[in-house]
Amino acid sequence: MKNVRLLITLFVLSLIFSGFSANAQKSNENLFGIFNLPIALQSPPSVEKQTVLPSPQIKDIQVFGEQSGLAYTRDTLFRTDTGGATWREIALPRSFSETISTISFSDENIGWAILADEQNAHLEIAKTNDGGNSWTKTPIRLRNEDLSVADFGNIYIGILGNGDLNLFISTTTSSNFAGIIIYETKDGGQTWKFSQRSVEIRRNDDASAEQRSGSWILKTEGNCTGAKTGCVQETKIFDGANEITPSQIKNLARLEKENAQLEAQNSVFARPPNGSTRISLNRGFDKCTA
């Protein structure tokens, strides 16, 4: 009898143990099965390259010939031979770090462009003899003391004839003074010689909203989306009453306006509620003199 009870007890224990082993094995399978599941690793967000749009601000214009003329921004040169009815972009031998300081033509074929690399304090002069179809590029060697104060965005060419040129370089000074450095060349820009450097009291600090060349007028207009928010400047070319601004410039100006409107809408500065409260960001209310 005792043997029977012992056998029954052992049988029951074996059933319990086998059930426990099966559950444990199933649990282990589920546990390790987790690691067999495909894991979707989240890839790091892709960094999109910031695309910098060309500038829509026309720096200057020039009329030469009956129907020919040019307009240029800090990075693009446009030419027309139809009196402004149509424009085409002229390719310049400009590197990525260079901007256009100034361009001047003596006639429909011969012209010069000053290309400035402000980051590396370097200037180059590009010359064309075929109206901009091809260019030759030559470095301009300036004195170190002149490079250290040169305003690379404000440089002008004086065409004297017979290959003689003058280079007028504005210098960075205090607001009460205006500085200029003059270099000259007598071989079409191959070599340059320092001429003079001067600093004078600024006589007139009013920036003109109009520039003229022949019958063309370059006008600068400013407008804001809101109260001193979303403000942009727009440059337009007129021949008499007719606007002849290059269509490429118009498209860029439109994009700039749209971006300014979005920035104004997303601005953290809300309009004053039901009142005439004026908000000044470290500036005077009516003049930027703070």
Give the residue with greater pLDDT, 248 vs 1: 248
Which pLDDT belongs to residue 139? Answer: 96
Interacting residues of 280 by C-beta distance below 8 A, sequence separation 6+: 290
Domain coordinates of the chain in residue numbers? 91-203
Element (H, E) at 53: none
Whole-model pTM: value is 0.71
pLDDT tens digit string along 39-78? 444 444 443 344 567 899 999 999 998 899 999 999 999 9
Per DSSP, helices labelled H in 51-164 are 144-147
Do residues 107 and 93 touch, judged by C-beta distance below 8 A? no
Question: Residue 204: is it exposed, middle or buried by C-beta count within 10 angstroms (0-12/13-18/19+)?
Answer: exposed
- Identify the pLDDT of residue 209: 78
Per-residue confidence (pLDDT) for residue 47, from 0 to 100: 38
257-282 pLDDT per residue, tens: 888 888 777 765 545 555 554 544 44
Which range (10-19, 186-195, 214-223) has the least confidence? 10-19
